[in-house]
Structures are given as C-alpha cells and as structure tokens.
Amino acid sequence: MILTKSLMTEWNIKSCDLKVKYNILAATLAIMYDHNLTFRSSGQDENIIRGGSLRITDFFTHNELFKNRMNQQLMKHGIYFISQLISSGGDRLLNYRDLRITLGINTKGRKPSWFKSIEQKCLLEKNLSRRLKSEFHMERNYKCISKDLVPEVKKRNWLAFYHEKNAVVYLGRVIETEVEGCDLKEIHTKSKRKSVKQRCLLTINDTDRSVKINAKSIDDRYILDMSVFECLAQAKNNSITKLVDSVTDRTPSNLLTFIHSPSVRNKLLKIKDSLEFVKDIEAYTDESFKKYSLTSVEMGSAFLISSPKKFEFNVNITDNPSAFKAELIAIILVLLVCPKDANITIYVDTQAIINIFNQLKKESLQQISREKCQYNAWWILSFKIIKFFNLTVLLVKVKAHDNSEYNNVVDKLAKEALNKDPVFIDLRLLMYKGNVCWNHNPIEKEVTIMIKHIRETQWIEEFFNLHRNDCWNNSEMLTEIDWSSMFRVLKGNTELTNFSKHELNSFKVKIRTEELPTLDNLVKRKPHVYSSKWKCPMCLKDKETYTHLWKCEHLGQ
C-alpha cells in the first residue's frame, strides 16, 4: 500500500474497492471504513514518512495504483511523493534516467509503465517538454540532490555554476588551458579536437558551489548524466541559499487552549494563574444530571477548591450525557488548573470513580488504553495530565448530601450549572495513539460495546427500511412497541448458540414479519409454480393467508 502515514490512521478504501487479497488487517480496516469507523492518533507516533509533498495517493486512485502492479514498483523504489520525481526548480518532471542519481534506481532498459503513468498524469505536454501541470508545481528545492559537490574536478567533468553578477547559470566542460587577454564568450564549442579553436570559459573560484556533472563524448556530442534543466536548477540552488527557520518550539502549550468557549477558558485561566505557586490543593467535585425526555437531557459539572484559596467553577455539558462522565470531567478540570508538581486531594461522592482510579493509577498509559473501562478516553486524558504535570492525586470518598459544608456547596454549584455556558473540549485532547472513532469522533465508552450498539442500530434501520415493514414504520406505532421486550423474546436464550436455536429464532422473526410460507406469499415469489386460485390445503375453503393461518379450524384441530 502506498501510504505516507500509518494505515491505521489513513485508511479510506471500502471493502468493494479493496484489491489486496488474503490480508486480514486490510480486510478488517475496510470493513471498519464501511461502517464509518476509523482510527485517529494524537500525531506523536503516527509513523509519518516525512520530507516530501504531493502524495501519490492524492492523485492516483486505489484502482490505478493496483493496475499493472504500480504500487509494488513504487514501494520497491521507495517512491511515496511525486516531489521525489520533480526537478530542483520545482516546475519540471525529471527524466527517467535522472532517477539513477536522485533515487539510485537502475535506469537501464525501457521506461517502465509506472513512470509512464506518472508522466501522463503530471506533464502538460508529454511529447514536447517536461513542464508540469500547474497543480504539481512546487517551490524551489534548495536542498541539492547531487552529492558530487567537491573541489576536485577532472577534465572529463562538466560544471554548472550560477554567476550572481550576471544572474545566469553557466554549463560547460572544464578546460585547463592557460590563456591571456580573453573575454567571456556567450558561445563555447563542445568539441575536444585539437584543430578546433578553444574559447575561454568563465573563471570559477568557488568550485564547492558548483555542480559537477559527468558526461560522455559520442560523435563530438556530450551526453550528460542528468537533464540540463536539473543541472541548471541545482547550480542555482547552491548559490542562492534559502534561510529556513528549522527551530521548533518544543515547549508544550497550555492545555486550556483546547477548552472552549473563550468565556469558560478565561475563568479557568484566572484560577490557574492564582494557583501558580501552590503545592498542596484540596478540592470538591460533583455533577448534576437531569432527564426531561428520551431526547432531552442536561448535565453539569462543578468543582470547589477549598484550600489554600477558595475558588468556585461550574459549567454545562452537552455531549453524550452521563452522570459518570460529568463527574469525571469535573475532576479533569481540576487537574487542568493545578500547577506542576502539586499535591492534590479531591473529594468525590462517587465510589465507582475512586475504584477505577485506584485500579488504573498503577498502570502505564498504554495499559490503560487496553482496559475495558467506562469512558476510557477520558481516563487516558486524566492520567496524561497527571503524568505531564507530575501531579500527586488522591481521591477521597465523601458521603453525598451529608453535613459537609463544601460538599453541599459544590452540589448546589452542579445544579446551577445546568443553566450555565456549555463547555466544549477539543477532541484532539482525547487522542492517544490509536483511538477508534465513529464519524471521526473518538468513542468515549468501551469500544467493543459501542461498536456492538452501532451495528445493532444499523441492522434495525436496515430492517425497518424494508418494504414489508412500511406498516410499522411510523412514529405512533414505534412508540407503542416495547423494543427491549421484543428483542428479548426474539433472541431467547443468550447463553447458547446452535443450529436449533438459530432455526427457532428465524421462525420467530418470520412470524413477526408475516414471512411464513403461506400460499399468498408463495404466489408472490413463484407465480409460475403456485396458482392464486389455490385454497388452504387444510380446509380447502378459504385462501391461505397469514390471518387465515390462525383462524383455520382444521389447523387448530
């Protein structure tokens, strides 16, 4: 596969378009992509192939890459970017023979089909010039590809040199002949015959800034080992240096920049600035959860820092409502405002959070990512903050609605948070190596259960979109059905899975969907075999329909 990133984070091929055979990993990723499931990473360990631009996969489809095994040839030569095949000037495609120098490819023999395909895709006029189409143009590459930049030059070598004063690139053979009173000539002979009068070339003092080129003489014509336009571009690059600031700021940014909206972020920043030099902190957290209907739910998170200074904060939460999540977010917000190397004691009234925290604090982030705990993505975030700021955290159980002054205050703040501004946490903050995402959003709950629910929902949607279920597919009818009871009856025993149980479940579904092989259904399926005039084989009076099946007197006997 021609991918510049890990295939876990860059997969975009459906099962029907997959050309790779007998590869369980590729097949699994294709099935995930069919169901809108992808992997995303934090960006720190993505195994990115760096140093190029114009990715091959951006201009060639999956089918084009697998045609005539183009992908295998490109991978064999280590070609992942079209920029690897573009001249130093950035406006021309290199000739195939130039790749012997730039990529170390053996270019003997005919031009391969994969290179012809790239020429067909990139060149403006394939038979006239090597000029690229506008979408493939690049900035000048100031990193010269040629490694033969040495002052030791032999007579058979040619040099390409950029003259700054004249702003011209000169290309010619090295001549070691002493002459006097010569002027720079615009035209120089290429012949090495002694009878031919030699013209003077430009005097080059800085040979380390020139490009040395090997050339063969065939019938008084010199054949260079690279294209002339590439020689001239490299010579100009060696003289015109481009200052690029390669120094990157490695200081980690404030994590509160991932908190939105600005009003919420500013409140947290004020608390964080006030606690800058504090080492010991005590805080109380709480949540509120209010359910108005099946589709209308509100929740809030709040924390109160009681020592050494008193600070109050509450906020509304909108996405994926859960009381457990609201309490966990309150703890994370406390951790975000704490200074580095601080000792924090957090009083919570949820024993489940304390139990999971004590279980996970002994494990590494990689081990935590493999745990099947509720809201695993948020747990990873909390422990990333703890490890990043070197925090010492202790969770203490406090009885809810007790006589604790601070706990009652934070409980009131959590209830008031339902009417406060909502907080939005940037999803990039939740990324850790290989997060499984649905609709490009990380799955917060346990992944296997979430995928199971997604697939069940898709099956239900497909089932109700069938024409046979049009009579059931209306809002009034759907609200009158107890779906949990219906699926429990249809599924039966969940502990055993065998053929007899499968047949029984199939029979239940056929009864529910009126798909039993009654005569009226058989006539629809095979009218050339079954006649619509036939009667019930038991009573021989009425037509055999789904309703008659339960009313037939002979069948009851």
Q: Tell me: the pLDDT tens digits for 499-543?
A: 888 888 888 888 877 888 889 889 988 999 999 889 888 888 888
In this structure, are strands 392-397 and 343-348 parallel, antiparallel, or unpaired? Answer: parallel
Instruction: Give residue-wise pLDDT tens across range 223-270.
Output: 565 676 777 777 766 665 433 333 333 334 478 888 888 888 899 999
pLDDT band of residue 143 (cuts 50, 70, 90) is very low
Are residues 336 and 256 in contact, defined by beta-carbon separation less than 8 angstroms?
Answer: yes
Residue 250 has a pLDDT of 36
| CA distance linking residue 357 with residue 334, whole number of Å | 15
Calculate the average pLDDT of the chain.
77
Cα distances (Å, whole numbers) of residue 206 to 150, 186, 218, 239: 10, 21, 30, 10
pLDDT score for 338: 92
When pLDDT is averaged across residues 433-455 and rounded to a whole number, the result is 77
203-212, 355-364, 442-451: range with lowest mean pLDDT? 203-212
Question: CA-based angle 33:36:41, to the nearest 5?
Answer: 80
**pLDDT over 70 (residue 17):** yes
Which segment of 189-193, 333-337, 395-399, 466-470 scores lowest on mean pLDDT?
Answer: 189-193
pLDDT of the residue at 179:
54
Task: Read off the pLDDT band of 150 (50, 70, 90).
Answer: very low
Pairing of strands 259-260, 424-425: antiparallel
CA 71 from centroid of its chain's CA atoms? 21
Q: Which helix (H) or strand (E) holds 368?
A: helix 365-370
Rounded-to-integer distance, Cα 340 and Cα 320, Å? 31
What residues contact 528, with CB distance under 8 A and at least 6 apart? none
For residues 356-375, average pLDDT: 85
pLDDT digits (tens, 9 = 90+) for 473-487: 777 777 788 877 877
Higher pLDDT: 416 or 369? It is 416
The Cα-based distances of 503 to 16, 456, 488, 512, 519 in angstroms read 30, 20, 16, 14, 21
Q: For the purposes of burial, counting CB atoms within 10 Å of the CB of 263, is it exposed (0-12), middle (13-18) or buried (19 or more)?
A: exposed
- 205 — pLDDT class (breaks 50, 70, 90): low
pLDDT of 347 over the 90 cut: yes
Higher pLDDT, 231 or 375: 375
What is residue 137's predicted lDDT score, i.e. its pLDDT?
84
Percent of the chain whose predicted confidence (pLDDT) is above 70 = 74
Q: What is the pLDDT of residue 313?
A: 93
Which stretch of 82-86, 107-111, 253-257, 328-332 has the lowest confidence by average pLDDT? 253-257
Q: What is the pLDDT of residue 342?
A: 92
Of 81 and 294, which is predicted with more confidence?
A: 81
Burial (Cβ within 10 Å: 0-12, 13-18, ≥19) of residue 139 = exposed
Answer whether residue 353 shows pLDDT above 80.
Answer: yes
Cα 376 from Cα 372, distance rounded (Å): 7
**Domains in the chain and their CATH numbers?**
7-136 (no CATH), 157-239 (no CATH), 255-433 (3.30.420.10), 466-512 (no CATH), 519-553 (no CATH)
What average pLDDT does the segment 401-416 reach? Answer: 86
* CB-CB contact of 48 with 97 (8 Å): no
Residues 6+ apart with CB under 8 A from 71: 1, 2, 65
Query: pTM of this prediction?
Result: 0.55
φ, ψ dihedrals at 535, nearest 5°: -105, 175
CA distance 57 to 1: 9
Instruction: Decide: residue 272, CB within 10 A, 0-12 exposed, 13-18 middle, 19+ buried.
Output: middle
Cα(405)–Cα(411) distance, integer angstroms: 10
Average pLDDT over residues 389-399: 92
The residue-averaged pLDDT of 451-467 equals: 80
Name the residue among 381, 280, 279 with its Cα closest to residue 328.
381
Instruction: For Cα atoms 225, 230, 232, give the angle at the middle one, nearest 5 degrees.
Output: 105
Q: Would you place residue 145 in the very low, low, confident or very high pLDDT band (cuts 50, 70, 90)? A: very low
Between 28-32, 113-117, 118-122, the lowest mean confidence (pLDDT) is in 28-32
